[in-house]
Structure 1
Amino acid sequence: MDFRYRIFNSDGSEVEQCGNGARCFARFVLDKRLTTKRQIRVETKSGVIELDIRNDGQISVNMGAPRLVPADIPFQAPAQADSYTLDVDGRQVQLAAVSMGNPHAVLRVDDINSAPVHELGPKIEHHPRFPARVNVGFLQVLDRQRAQLRVWERGAGETQACGTGACAAAVAAISQGWMDSPLLIDLPGGRLSIEWAGPGQPVMMTGPAVRVYEGQVRL
C-alpha cells in the first residue's frame, strides 16, 4: 500500500469513493514528489484502488468491480435487476442502481440540457429506498460509444464532473445493451474514457487531472 486518504463532500459528509478525487490525488502526490512511482495503490474507505499515471498526462484508475446486488449498494429491492421502477412523488421513474464504492442511480434521458437534474436529483438522493442516500446520474446516449452525463451528487448537488458517476453510468449503459466498451462520457467539466468487460470485472476510468491553484487555509 502506497497511500491512504479520506474524502469529504462540501457539506462535511464523508464518502466512500471519488473517481475524480482519485485522479487529483495521483496528480497531487506526483507534483509534490511524494512518490516516484507511476503506478500506485491507494486505500480509501471503500477499499483499495490502483492508479496509473500515464506519460501523456492522463491518469487511469482501476475502480474495482461494480456492485450490483441491491443490498450491497445499498438499495431496497426484492431482487437484482438491470432496471428498477422508483415512485417519486407519484411519478414512476426508471433507473439503474450501481455501487462503485458509493451508491449511484442512473436515469436515461432524451436531452441532457433539459434533464430534470434539480427537480428529481434531490428527491431521488433522499428516497427511502436508498438508505445511505444516493448520487443521481442523468445519461443521454449519443451512439454506441459516446454519451453525455450530468450528476446530482450526494451532499454536493450538481457538480461539473463525477468519476464514479461516469463509471456507474457506463455499467448501466453496457448492462442494458445501450452502449459498448470502451466508451466516452462527456460531463460539463470534461471527458472520461471508461472500459468495462462485464459483471465481476473491474471498471477502468481514464481522464485528466490539472492543478488549478494552490492556497492556504488557517484552521
Structure 2
Amino acid sequence: MLRQFHKMHGLGNDFVILDARAEPLEITEGLARHIADRRDGVGCDQLILLEPSTLADLRMRIFNADGSEVQSCGNATRCVISLTGAATIETAGGLLEGATHGDEVEVTLIEPRFDWDAIPLAYPMPTNPMPMGWENLDRPQAINVGNPHLVFFVEDLDDIDIEGLGPGIETDPVFPERINVNVASIEGGAIRLRTFERGAGLTRACGTGACATAIAAIRARLVTSPVTVHMAGGSLAISWVPGQPVRMRGAATHVFKGMIDL
C-alpha cells in the first residue's frame, strides 16, 4: 500500500507526517518503528498521523522512534500548522491552537500542571523541586505541558553527560509513563537547553521541553517572560504567565514529500 508522506522538522527535531483524514490508516508500534528507522525506513524522531476530529480542525497522533505513542509534541505542532493551515489541533495531551506569522509558527499549549499525579509520579511527593537525584543531577522541577518533563538547572551544561544519564532517568520507576529529561543553564538572560526525549533519545530540539524549561526558569525567577531558549538545532521564543497557557514561537521547515510502501 503506497501512501504519501511529508518530511518536516522543527529546529532539527524531524518528523514523518502521514495524512489519514480522508483515508484511515492503522499505525502499529512495529510500523512506527520501521518508518522512523533511518536505515530501513524514512527516518525521523517522531511519526505524526493526522486524523479527523470533532473537536478541532484535525487530530494529531504522535509516535516516537521506538514505536510508543505519546501525548504531545510542540515542534510537530508547529510543522502540522505550517503544512495544513490548521488553527486548532486535538491531541491526547489537550487542545492546541496556533497560527503562522511569516516564516514562524506560534503555538499555544495547555496550561502547565505541577501536581504529582498530573506529571504523573508513582507516589506523592513535592514537584518543585523533587527530592531526588541521579549522579550529578538532583532536585529537578517536574512539569506536565501536555507530556511529562523534568527540568534540571546546572552551571555548565557541557559538563553533563545527558546521553549517559538520560536513559536511567527516563525509565526510573518513579515515572510510570517515563519522562522527558531537560538539562539547562542560564546564559545572559536566555536559556541554553539539551533534552533527552522519552522514546527518542537526545534530540536537536524539543518544543515542549523548551516550554517546560522556560516555565521552570520563570517560576524560579531565573529569567523573565518572554525568554529565548537556545538548543542545538535553533531557538524558540517562549512566553508564560502563571495561571495561563504557555506560548511557543519558532520555525517549521518542510524538507520533502514522497511515497512510502506501508
What is the match of residue 197 of structure 1? 241
Q: Distance in 2 between matches of 1:182 and 1:147?
A: 11
Q: Distance in 2 between matches of 1:73 and 1:60?
A: 25
CA contact (8 A) 1:58 1:206 kept: yes
Amino acid at match of 2:73: C
TM-score, scaled relative to structure 2: 0.75
Across the two proteins, how many residue pairs are aligned to each other?
207
Say which of 106, 109, 117 aligns to 2:154: 109
What is the match of residue 52 of structure 1? 99
* TM-fit CA distance, 1:185: 0.2
* TM-fit CA distance, 1:113: 2.4
SS class of match (2:184): strand
| Residue 74 (1) aligns with residue 129 (2) | no
Say which of 57, 71, 93 aligns to 1:2: 57
| Residue 153 (1) aligns with residue 177 (2) | no
Q: How does 1:15-164 map to 2 (within 5 A)?
A: 15-30=70-85, 40-54=87-101, 56-76=102-122, 78-88=124-134, 93-144=138-189, 146-164=190-208
Q: Distance in 2 between matches of 1:76 and 1:86?
A: 13
* TM-fit CA distance, 1:74: 0.4
CA contact (8 A) 2:117 2:124 kept: no
Identity across aligned pairs (percent)?
A: 40
Per-residue deviation, residues 61-93 of structure 1 (Å, max 9, x unmatched): 00121010110010245344421121437x672
Q: Distance in 1 between matches of 2:191 and 2:254?
A: 26
CA contact (8 A) 2:75 2:206 kept: yes
Q: Distance in 2 between matches of 1:193 and 1:184?
A: 5
CA contact (8 A) 2:137 2:152 kept: no
Q: CA RMSD in A?
A: 1.5
Q: Distance in 1 between matches of 2:211 and 2:143?
A: 9
Q: Cα 1:129–1:61, aligned 2, differ >3 Å: closer, same or farther?
A: same
Say which of 191, 195, 218 aligns to 1:174: 218
* TM-fit CA distance, 1:177: 1.3
TM-score, scaled relative to structure 1: 0.89
* TM-fit CA distance, 1:138: 0.7
Per-residue deviation, residues 31-84 of structure 1 (Å, max 9, x unmatched): xxxx6xxxx111011111001111x22100001210101100102453444211
CA contact (8 A) 1:96 1:172 kept: yes
Q: Distance in 1 between matches of 2:225 and 2:174?
A: 30
Amino acid at match of 1:60: E
Q: Distance in 1 between matches of 2:174 and 2:132?
A: 8
Amino acid at match of 2:120: P
CA contact (8 A) 2:162 2:183 kept: yes
Amino acid at match of 1:208: A
Where structure 1 has 5 or more consecutive residues not aligned to the other structure, the ranges are: none
SS class of match (2:165): helix
* TM-fit CA distance, 1:128: 1.1
Q: Cα 1:208–1:127, aligned 2, differ >3 Å: closer, same or farther?
A: same
Amino acid at match of 2:222: W
| Most deviating of 106-115 and 93-102 | 106-115
* TM-fit CA distance, 1:162: 0.3
